[in-house]
Chains A and B, each alone.
Chain A
Amino acid sequence: MSAATGDARQTADPDSPAARRPRNTQTTTVVRALLRKELLVELRTLESVPGMSLFAVTTFVVFHFALQRSSVDGDLAAGILWVTLLFAAILGINRLFVADADQGGFDGFLLAPVERTALLVAKALALLAYLVLLELVAVPAFALLLLGPSLGQAMPGLLGVLALGDLGVAAIGTLVAALAVRTRARDLLGPLLALPLLVPIVIGGARATSPLLALGGTGDPPARWLLTLGLYDLVFGLIAYALFDFLLED
């Protein structure tokens, strides 16, 4: 793609030859514009992050009472944390392209002389931001409501595992959301497609987190599971990059 410079921008003089030439807009500029728009819309509607966070906290409360125990640790704690984060993420994934589909944002984007991958990157970054915000609420709530061992020592390792998990969820979630949103059954199809693809992230995340949340845990996640998560992120990042253009086609 050719990068347009600031000089080639359409200026106050639209009669100039430069202003009439077709241009391809620089991808980083487009990603920034798309991401800014995405975050502004979320800030004004509060449709995704509050719902995701509330769902996670409510789920922890339900687990608190359903398990009939005051605290959890190890495998059980890791499983509860990752499954809850997964389902909360599904709520955000389902909403990711709704404003674009319902308000013509897709058409506006497709009419522009831009790399379509910019939309994938911007949406994935937006979803990543939503997941980080979700975890800022969910992880302390989890520690408060359910977790037995202190999070202090586990925190650096947990942050690393969550970051790897979030990258995978963002790539898969964006891909699936773009596919589902153009169907009539998007609310159903999104989760149905996303869940099987996200299961390996839950497995990898839970296995990597389990020793961190064990009583007297090591504080270091197993490298094997971190590598698995990283590889899965890479594979789905490439798949999303390869397929995204086709998903936007008529």
Chain B
Amino acid sequence: MSAVEVEGLARHFGEREALSDVSLSLQAGQTLVVFGPNGAGKTTLLRVLATLLRPHDGDVRVLGSRLPSEAWEVRGRIGLLGHEPLLYRELTARENLRFHARLHDVADDRVERQLELVGMGDRADEPLRALSRGMVQRVAVARAVLHDPELLLLDEPRSNLDPAAVAMVDPLIAAGSDPARPRTRVICSHDPSGGLAEADVVLGLRSGRAVLASAADEVGPEEIAELYT
């Protein structure tokens, strides 16, 4: 079953084309890793798939629903971890997660479990503004997977994390191994070897255009590195 199907996607901001004629296909349970230099359109692609930006041209289907007309059907089935943590600085980690739990109709015991899983159980009652960026990122990971989304959109998910924190969050953002409940992932990365290791499909963007679209096992790190030259 196809989880993400994009054909001829275009998106612009005023005169600037952020995405142009981008096509991709991703089966349920697969991981797509998107590479590309800064400004290539990776974040815009994630935001379109997250239903936060409208495609200006092309056909976009996410989890079987066409965007933007059927976006309401997939909200709640998507988890987004972007550059912004989507958390309130004045609220504590626990308050932030409980707030998102209410929005997604998730029980509080899952909030407590997520806090423990990201190692924030003992700092859960401190306001986010008092936490380090790495700690905020851990809370943001917990927020993104709180409702156990079928499609996980991750923009450099390990940024600001130390190795111990990476070890903690990696299982949370991993692709589902159970075929009965596959988790599809789209990950933006600047790490060719690390990205390729977890990719099933690779997309290379440059200036909003797809210059590389291939199965991960057909691409080498050197081809990824060329995107940045």
Whether chains A and B associate is yes
Distance in angstroms from A142 CB to nearest chain B CB is 31
Chain A residues contacting B80 (CB-CB under 8 Å) are 107, 111
Q: Please pick, from B77, B85, B99, B103, the residue contacting A104 in the complex, using a CB distance under 8 A.
A: B85
Q: Please pick, from B54, B75, B102, B148, the residue contacting A249 in the complex, using a CB distance under 8 A.
A: B54
Contact indicator B102/A44 (Cβ below 8 Å): no
Docked complex Cα distance between A249 and B54 (Å):
9
A25 touches B (CB below 8 Å): yes
Known: A29-B102, A37-B88. A113 touches B107 (CB 8 A): no
Binary flags per residue of B67-95, CB closer than 8 Å to A gives 1, else 0: 00000111111111010111111110001
Contact indicator A32/B102 (Cβ below 8 Å): yes
Contact indicator B104/A112 (Cβ below 8 Å): yes
Determine, out of A11-19, A66-74, A186-194, A230-238, the stretch whose residues face the partner at the interface. Answer: A11-19
Contact indicator A40/B95 (Cβ below 8 Å): yes
Contact indicator B84/A103 (Cβ below 8 Å): yes
Query: What residue of chain A has the Cβ atom nearest to residue B148's Cβ?
Result: A14
Chain B residues contacting A110 (CB-CB under 8 Å) are 51-52, 75
Chain B residues contacting A44 (CB-CB under 8 Å) are 90-91, 127
Chain B residues contacting A26 (CB-CB under 8 Å) are 105
Known: A20-B148, A103-B89, A111-B50. A14 touches B105 (CB 8 A): no
Distance in angstroms from A169 CB to nearest chain B CB is 25
Q: Please pick, from A9, A99, A104, A105, the residue contacting B105 in the complex, using a CB distance under 8 A.
A: A9
Contact indicator A250/B54 (Cβ below 8 Å): yes
Docked complex Cα distance between A33 and B103 (Å):
8
Q: Range of interface residues on chain A?
A: 35 or more
Interface hits, A148-199 → B, CB 8 Å: none
Contact indicator A8/B105 (Cβ below 8 Å): yes
Docked complex Cα distance between A103 and B91 (Å):
11
B109 touches A (CB below 8 Å): yes
B133 touches A (CB below 8 Å): no
Distance in angstroms from B68 CB to nearest chain A CB is 8
Chain B residues contacting A24 (CB-CB under 8 Å) are 76
Chain B residues contacting A25 (CB-CB under 8 Å) are 102-105
Contact indicator B102/A41 (Cβ below 8 Å): no
Chain A residues contacting B85 (CB-CB under 8 Å) are 104
Distance in angstroms from B27 CB to nearest chain A CB is 18
Contact indicator A107/B95 (Cβ below 8 Å): no
Distance in angstroms from B37 CB to nearest chain A CB is 24
Docked complex Cα distance between A29 and B106 (Å):
12
Distance in angstroms from A4 CB to nearest chain B CB is 5
A134 touches B (CB below 8 Å): no
Contact indicator A105/B86 (Cβ below 8 Å): yes
Distance in angstroms from B185 CB to nearest chain A CB is 16
Identify 15 residue pairs between A and B in the complex whose beta-carbon atoms are under 8 Å apart, listed by A's number.
Answer: A9-B106, A10-B104, A10-B148, A15-B178, A22-B74, A23-B76, A33-B99, A36-B99, A40-B91, A44-B91, A104-B85, A105-B86, A107-B52, A110-B52, A111-B50
